[in-house]
Amino acid sequence: MNKPAENIFENLPENFKGEIIEEILRNKNLKIKRIVSNGASSPENFWYDQDENEFVLLLAGSAGISFNDDTKINLKPGDYLVIEAHRKHRVDWTDPVQKTIWLTFFY
């Protein structure tokens, strides 16, 4: 049975600080997640070091990402990037005024 259509901008959490991660789809080769951030950042001295490649699409809000080679990228709605497996990275900041909505694809 097919699941009814959903909207990526609906059913957003209210009045929270930090980040909420929801898995939308998973199979053996792909994971898709919606991440809603509200002034979130990675813990100090923390780096993501993932076994999978990640495609990141910023849908709303804004964010800053750093890599351990000192590269810094600021994202606005519509921006996307590919983070290769084991490329260490962290979220420096997300918009503290409006929700930042990400769609991430792990493959």
Give the model confidence (pLDDT) of 44-85 as tens digits: 999 999 999 999 999 999 999 999 999 999 999 999 999 999
Do 53 and 36 contact (CB within 8 A), yes or no? no
Return d(Cα 12, Cα 10) in angstroms, integer.
5
CATH number, domain containing residue 66 = 2.60.120.10
The answer, yes or no, to whether residue 18 has pLDDT greater than 90, is no
Domain count, the chain: 1
Mean pLDDT of 13-40: 93
Q: What is the pTM of this model?
A: 0.89
- Which residues form the domain of 70? 18-106
